Amino acid sequence: MNYKQPIGKIKETIETTLDRVFGVSLENATDEQCYKAVALTVRDLMARGRSEFMAQAEKSHAKQIYYLCMEFLLGRSLRNNLYNLGIEEDYRTALSEMGLKLDALYDQEPDAGLGNGGLGRLAACFLDGLATQGYPATGYSLRYEYGIFRQKLVDGWQTELPDFWLPGGKIWMQAVPEKSVEVHFNGHIEEYWYNQYHVVNHKDYTKVLAVPYDMYVSGMDGRGISRLRVWAACSPEFDMKLFNSGNYLRAMEQNAMAEVITKVLYPEDNHLEGKSLRLSQQYFLVSATIQDIIRRHLFRYSTLDNLPDLVAIHLNDTHPVLAIPEMMRIMLDECGYGWDAAWDIVTRTIAYTNHTVMNEALECWNVELFKSRLPRIYQIIEEINRRFCAQMHERGVDGYKVGRMAPLNDGYVKMANLAVASCHSVNGVSQLHSDILKDRVFHDFYTELPEKFTNVTNGIAHRRWLNQANPSLAALITDLIGDGYIHNAQELEKLKKFQDDAAVLKKMAEIKRGNKVRLSNYVKKELNLSLDPDSIFDMQVKRMHEYKRQHLNALHILSVYQRLRENPGEDFTPHTYIFGAKAAPGYYFAKQMIRFIVNLGNTINNDPLVNKKMKVIFLEDYRVSLAELMIPAADLSEQISLAGTEASGTSNMKFMINGAVTIGTLDGANVEIHDSVGDDNIILFGMTTPEVEALKRNYNPRTFFNSNPVIRKAVDALNGGFSGVSFSDIADSLLNIDPYMVLADFDSYARAQKKAETLYGDRCTWSRMCLINTANAGRFAADRAIREYASQIWNAEPVPEKGAAKHSSARK
């Protein structure tokens, strides 16, 4: 589809939309109304493009890709879609002629509250990559009314506020109420035989209506358009009898209890009600989704026998794994399939990506809770478990090993085990992570079913994180090597020939400084704090968690502060330490880590003895639009998780493509970044994964505390605290548990930081390192990851382009 329109047509469409939808003229319209009018015009363009693309997909019988994830961290949509469709400058011109500024309209859009961390951002990048590569794809998630939360720091303590994103964000969503489906909870199972058929009825269940809303994500040049279908929960009916009898609250309560399912992303689950709600969210997502997929397929083909040939369903982490028993339920109870035939179809259709090595993230559900909330699904999992264990016993597998692999054991439904036992493919998201899955997390499965395991290293939407977030650098790259890298990120390698070109290195350094000034202006506005754009901008932005080790970074900052106070004349490269992260609401230790960083920063920033040399800032409410401002400004990218704990990381890839140098451990995708850039263009420290495993057997953090006076002094200072707050709980954890070996890696990290300061002092060397990082970032593009999923896991081909299809027919 050609998305180009005459400037006059664009202006006419926007003005007509303002009049018909908002009832205002251009002269009286607010910026918010103008943003919404523009969004509606772009949404309509993409809806037509999606329709045309899918017609071509159906004509060629291209395999449909369905991507299930509890979150899609989209950020803002307007700029991304205008850029990808190649019409950003046309709209800029049209709006300018209307007396409007496109950048001002961009700022009217809230970040979509549909995701939180790297898992959701990866899913969003994959929708972009699927569309650009020409695969017919639909993502499925929930329409969260409040998203995760809006973070407000009060005296350094994270406070969670509702994220009212829908008023400005829902303009991108198109309700499709005619595609609504029912999802059933609770009740009991009635079984009997009728004419030699085993009949299962689900009785006295609670009904919740799933209403779909569609958003569109454009691929580059609009070749393909991905759809994100998100489900909103509501009560299917209003109990008029209950209301008329005077039970007004009970009548309203039914609707409220249904709607709570899609109120908030990741509700706190450190209590029974929270666990029940999370389980309900997960089943609500998969039940609505699988019903939708099967209904669409049956409408077109009238059979499910060919489903594995025409459909690939992908489970992004453990949250949507209940899709497996739900699909079995539909095929057994509603489509009349026998177990063996249904199981064959389900297992050849569904694949699973694991995103963690953390035991707490390999979800397990208490049997009693599960059985009461999802009785029929539990019954099906029991049968999956029985058959899987029998199969393993028949193969002569040891009973203890079978128990460790069982989807149902020790009073828990084990979601990761259910996924690995059922799916035809299981992949990790970096080479190291995939090796750990085989060697440790799923070792029992790997020894029995090695053919299931593969690796697809994560990737990012490089057009968003380079071309849109860092237009000055993108313009320089285009001038140097052309624009081929926009479609094929591997072409960034052509930059290597400029690694000794002083003029190019100087220009890159100027662009980086400009981005640092832009971020400094934001910090001045938000925090009334002045930053030195010539200092090292050392950045750590990601979810706040002990395994990410923000407290290692902060403990080192504290040690530097102590050293500079004792030696104020010491030669020290000015350093600005920048953090951004949210902690899970019930994760006390992570919230204390935030408080420690904020209070330490306040102490340092207000100390005239050192604040010309170092500053520490924590930017609240970290989100995609803020990341797009921060990441291009970074000199140093902190990727400092304990080796063997990070699955991949994607912030490391975003920093890398923007010319930041990684300081990190050999963990996750850092291993492959190191392979790409070599020893001289990354700053490594810390233990390797085998060294971590060896030390774990008899690790005593006090050994490092007692032998290192710098550590001892910094940890002791935690007990005294900052800004009147003691952080003795952090000190106690480091001294008595230290589960992520902060003290063991501290000395190596401190040396790596000194090395970074030395390298930064040689600006030519540093700029060369930055260029080499950008030049080697192409392998971490989402486009490449999607091609690997398609060839290795989905067995899918892109929709033929119209010209190519005609040409092919002509040859025939």
Residue 35, strand partner residues: none
Pairing of strands 453-455, 426-428: parallel
Out of 11, 543, 545, 549, pick the active-site residue.
Answer: 543
Which positions ≥6 away from 246 have C-beta within 8 Å? none
Asked if 650 is an active-site residue, the reply is yes
- Choosing from 63, 121, 507, 548, the catalytic residue is 548
Tell me, yes or no, if 802 is annotated catalytic: no
Angle, helices 502-527/471-481, rounded to nearest 10 degrees? 170
Q: How much of the chain is helix, strand and coil, in % rounded to 5?
A: 55, 15, 30
Query: What value does the CA radius of gyration of the chain take, rounded to a whole number of Å?
Result: 27
Q: Copy the structure tokens of residue 452.
A: 């299931």
Positive or negative, the CA dihedral 652, 655, 659, 664 is negative
Closest by alpha carbon to 441, among 452, 451, 449, 433? 433
Out of 262, 650, 689, 774, which one is annotated catalytic?
A: 650
CA distance 560 to 168: 44
654 carries an active-site annotation: yes
- Written as six digits, the tokens of 586 are 């019930």
Give me the phi and psi of 316, to 5 degrees please. -90, 95
Q: Which of 36, 229, 355, 512 is catalytic?
A: 355
DSSP alpha helices (H): ranges in 424-549?
A: 431-436, 443-448, 462, 471-481, 484-487, 502-527
| Nearest-angstrom CA–CA distance, 637 and 661 | 6
Phi, psi of 78 (to 5 degrees): -60, -55
* 674 carries an active-site annotation: no
- CA dihedral (363, 368, 370, 371) in degrees, to 10, reads 150
Q: Which of 414, 463, 542, 551 is catalytic?
A: 542
Q: Which of 372, 309, 353 lies closest to 453, judged by CA?
A: 353
What is the DSSP-derived secondary structure letter of residue 722? B
Does 497 participate in catalysis according to the annotation?
no
Q: Provide the angle, in degrees to the nearest 10, between the axes of the packed helices 550-566 and 709-720.
A: 100
Long-range contacts of 601-605, Cβ-Cβ distance < 8 Å, separation of 24 or more: 601/577, 602/156, 602/722, 602/723, 603/561, 603/722, 603/723, 604/557, 604/561, 605/529
The rounded distance, in Å, linking the Cα atoms of 630 and 643 is 26
Phi, psi of 668 (to 5 degrees): 55, -140
The Cα 173–Cα 216 span in angstroms is 8
Active site residue 355: yes
Structure tokens belonging to residue 349: 């259709």
Cβ of 723: how many Cβ atoms within 10 Å? 14
From the candidates 654, 768, 779, 784, which is the catalytic residue?
A: 654
Kindly list the catalytic residues: 355, 542-543, 548, 650, 654
